[in-house]
Amino acid sequence: MVLGGGPAGENIVDRTRAAGLTTALVESELVGGECSYWACIPSKALLRPVLARADARRVPGLAGAVGGALDAEAVFAHRDYWTGNWKDDGQIDWLDSIGAHLYRGHGRLYGTRKVAVTSPEGDHHVLTARHAVVIATGTRAVIPELPGIAGARPWTSREATSARQAPERLLIVGGSVVAAEMATAWQALGTRVTVLVRGSGLLPRMEPFAGELVAEALREAGAEIRTDVAVEAVVRDGATGPVTVVLEGGETVEGDELLMATGRAPRTDDIGLDTVGLTPGDWIGVDDSCRVPGHDWLYAVGDVNHRALLTHQGKYQARIAGAVIAARAAGEEPADTGRWGAHTATADTAALPQAVFTDPEAAAVGLSLAEAQKAGHRVRAVDYDLGKVSGAGLYADPYPGRARMVVDLDREVLLGATFVGPGAAELLHAATIAVAGEVPISRLWHAVPAFPTVSEIWLRLLEAYRG
Ligand SMILES: Cc1cc2nc3c(=O)[nH]c(=O)nc-3n(C[C@H](O)[C@H](O)[C@H](O)COP(=O)(O)OP(=O)(O)OC[C@H]3O[C@@H](n4cnc5c(N)ncnc54)[C@H](O)[C@@H]3O)c2cc1C
Ligand SMILES: NC(=O)c1ccc[n+]([C@@H]2O[C@H](COP(=O)([O-])OP(=O)(O)OC[C@H]3O[C@@H](n4cnc5c(N)ncnc54)[C@H](O)[C@@H]3O)[C@@H](O)[C@H]2O)c1
C-alpha cells in the first residue's frame, strides 16, 4: 500500500509491481504529485524559454534577434501543456498499464499494516497490506506566522508556478531555490521582482559563488535583491489592492503579489501517525533502506522523510526501498546493506546532485568546501573561471561561470563539485558519476573531454589540481 502518488510514491508502485507484488496507491489530489503540477515541471517549463533567451543573447550575431519580450501567453500555454492542464489522465493510464490499483481519496494509517481511505464522496474503506505500507505524502509550503499574512493572501510555490498573468510587481520572501528560480522566471516574464533575503545571499546551501553569480545576473535583469532584511508584517490593501511588506526598522516595500518561498513542512499532520506511535506533523525518520525504525512493515520515501527534498532523490529512495520490500516479501532478509549496496540509499548523503535553473544555472553534487571541512575531511578546493574554457567562450560570450571541485586529499577522490554557468546543469552528471564512483583523480586524468566542449572544465580543474 502506497500513500501519496508523487514521483516517490509512483516509483515505489513501479518497483513493487515489477517484483510481482500486488500494489495499491492512495492519492488525494493528482497522481504525479507536487512535482508534476506545482513544482519541478511547471517551473522548468516557465524557465526554459527564459534561459534559452538569455543564452541566445550571449551569442554574437544572434543577440539582436532575441532582444524583444517573451511571448508570455505562449510560455504559459507551454507550461499548461507540461502539467497536462492539471489533469492526471496520463498517469492513470500508466497505473492501469502496470496493473496497480488506485484509490482516490485521503489516506490515513489505521494501525499496523492498515490504511483507511476516505473517498471524495465520503466513503470509507480500510485496506490491509500483506507486506508493507509506504508513506510518500510529500510536503506543503510553510508560510511564517507574520502579522497580517492571512489577509495578504500570499502566493506559495503553487501560485508562483501556475499563475496565468504576470503581476506588475512581485515581492519574494526567501533566498533559496524556489525564490531564485521564481525570481528568474517572473522577472523575465515582465514582472518587476524584489527578493527579500534574511541571510547574506541567494542559494545558501551551495558554494557562495553560486548565489553571488545568480544575484548579479538577476540585478542585471532589473530585479532588486535585498539581503540581511527581516520581514515583520504584511498588509494587503483591500481585496485586490497592493501588498506592503514591513521590514525590521519600519521600512516598507510594496508589490502587487507576495510569494512566500520560505521552505516546506511534511504532509503528516492527518495521516494517522498516532495510530502507530509516531507524532503527527513530524518528518518521518527512516534508516538507510527507508524503513521506519521499530516498524518492520512501514517505510517512508521522498520529501516526507526529510533526507533530500528533490524528485530524483525520492525516486532513488523508492528504487532502494522497493528492492528491500520485494526481498522481504520473498522471505529473504535484504542482504546488500553495505555502503553503495542495492538496499542502502547511500547517495542521499554521499553524492546528492541538484541543478538550479536560474540564469546562470547552478549545479552541485556531494559536499561543498564548507560541508567537507565541517565533516572533518582533509580537503583542497580547486576553482576555475568557466568562461576561460574555449568551449564555454564559444557557447556564450561572455560566459558568466565558475567551477569548483572539492578533493579528498587522503583518498584523492572528489567529494563534491559545483558548476555555475549557462547550461551548467548538463555538466552535473559527469561529476555525480565521479563522486558516486569514487573515481580516483589518477583515473579521471584519462577521462578526456572532447574539444571544444564546456566539459573541458574537467581538464582545467585537474590540471590546476596537479599543478
Ligand atoms: C517550486 C518548486 C520547484 C521544484 N523544482 C524541482 C526540480 O526542478 N527538481 C527536483 O528534483 N525537485 C524540485 N522540487 C522539489 C520536488 O517538487 C519534490 O522533491 C518532490 O515533489 C517530492 O516528491 P514526493 O513524491 O516525495 O512528494 P510530492 O510530489 O509532494 O507528492 C506527494 C503526493 O502525496 C499526496 N498526498 C499527501 N497526503 C496524502 C494523503 N493523506 N492521502 C493520499 N494522498 C496524499 C499529495 O496529493 C501528492 O500527490 C521543487 C519544489 C518546488 C516547490
Ligand atoms: N531545481 C531544484 O532542484 C529545486 C527547485 C525548487 C525547489 N527545490 C527544492 O524544494 C525545497 C523547497 O525549496 P524552498 O526554496 O521553498 O525552501 P528552502 O528550505 O530551500 O529555503 C527556504 C528559505 O526561506 C528562508 N526563510 C524561512 N523563513 C523565513 C522568514 N520568515 N523570512 C525570511 N526568510 C525565511 C530560509 O532562510 C531559507 O533560505 C528545497 O529542498 C529545494 O531544494 C528544488
Series of mean pLDDT values for 10-residue runs along the chain (467 residues): 98 98 98 98 98 96 94 98 98 98 98 98 96 98 97 97 98 98 98 98 98 98 98 93 97 98 98 98 98 97 98 98 96 90 96 98 98 98 98 96 98 98 98 98 98 98 95
Cβ of 161 closer than 6 Å to ligand 1, yes or no, is: yes
Residue 230: is it exposed, middle or buried by C-beta count within 10 angstroms (0-12/13-18/19+)?
exposed
| 281 φ/ψ sector (left φ>0, alpha ψ -120 to 50, else beta) | left
> What pLDDT was estimated at residue 3?
98
CA of 265 to the centre of ligand 1 (A): 11
Contact indicator for 292, 299 with CB cutoff of 8 Å: yes
Q: What superfamily does domain 360-466 belong to in CATH?
A: FAD/NAD-linked reductase, C-terminal dimerisation domain (3.30.390.30)
Question: Which atom of ligand 1 is least distant from the CA of 304?
Answer: 26
Q: Which triple of cell numbers denotes residue 294?
A: 521499530
CA-nearest residue for atom 3, ligand 1, is 39
> What pLDDT was estimated at residue 146?
97
Kindly identify the ligand whose nearest atom is closest to the C-alpha of 144. Answer: 2
Residues 6+ apart with CB under 8 A from 2: 9, 12, 13, 16, 23, 24, 25, 26, 133, 134, 136
> What pLDDT was estimated at residue 450?
98
Give the strand pairing for 169-173 and 139-141: unpaired
Contact indicator for 303, 290 with CB cutoff of 8 Å: no
Domain borders along the chain are: 2-32+88-141+266-329, 149-263, 360-466
Domains 2-32+88-141+266-329 and 149-263 share a fold: yes
> What pLDDT was estimated at residue 431?
98
CA atoms of 221 and 8, how far apart (whole Å):
36
Residues 6+ apart with CB under 8 A from 399: 58, 386, 387, 392, 393, 421, 422
> What pLDDT was estimated at residue 229?
98
> What pLDDT was estimated at residue 467?
86
Task: Please report how the helices 208-220 and 177-188 are oriented relative to each other, as an axis angle in degrees rounded to 10.
Answer: 20
Kindly identify the ligand whose nearest atom is closest to the C-alpha of 44. Answer: 1
> What pLDDT was estimated at residue 178?
98
- Phi and psi at 104, nearest 5°, equal -85, 130
CA-nearest residue for atom 8, ligand 2, is 177
Q: What superfamily does domain 149-263 belong to in CATH?
A: FAD/NAD(P)-binding domain (3.50.50.60)
Contact indicator for 29, 5 with CB cutoff of 8 Å: no
Cβ of 39 closer than 6 Å to ligand 1, yes or no, is: yes
- Phi and psi at 216, nearest 5°, equal -60, -45
Residue from 28, 311, 313, 315 to probe ligand 1 pocket by mutation (most atoms less than 8 Å from CB): 311
- ipTM topping 0.95: yes
Residues 6+ apart with CB under 8 A from 319: 11, 15
Contact indicator for 324, 21 with CB cutoff of 8 Å: no
CA atoms within 13 A on the CB side of 26: 27
CA of 307 to the centre of ligand 1 (A): 14
CA atoms of 326 and 15, how far apart (whole Å):
8
**Which of 22, 32, 3 lies closest to 106, judged by CA?**
3
> What pLDDT was estimated at residue 442?
97
Residues 6+ apart with CB under 8 A from 342: 320, 323, 334, 336
**Which of 367, 347, 365 lies closest to 356, judged by CA?**
365
**Which of 143, 130, 426 lies closest to 264, judged by CA?**
143
Q: Which triple of cell numbers denotes residue 387?
A: 568562461
Question: Which atom of ligand 1 is least distant from the CA of 140?
Answer: 30
> What pLDDT was estimated at residue 335?
82
| Lining residues, ligand 2, CB within 6 Å | 144, 173-179, 181, 198-199, 204, 231, 261-264, 309-310, 354-357
CA-nearest residue for atom 1, ligand 2, is 356
| Longest distance between any two alpha carbons in the chain, whole Å | 70
CA atoms of 127 and 24, how far apart (whole Å):
9
In sequence order, the β-bridge partners of residue 366 are 416
Contact indicator for 380, 409 with CB cutoff of 8 Å: yes
> What pLDDT was estimated at residue 368?
98
- Residues composing the chain: 467
CA atoms of 337 and 221, how far apart (whole Å):
49
Does the domain made of 2-32+88-141+266-329 have the CATH classification 3.40.50.300? no
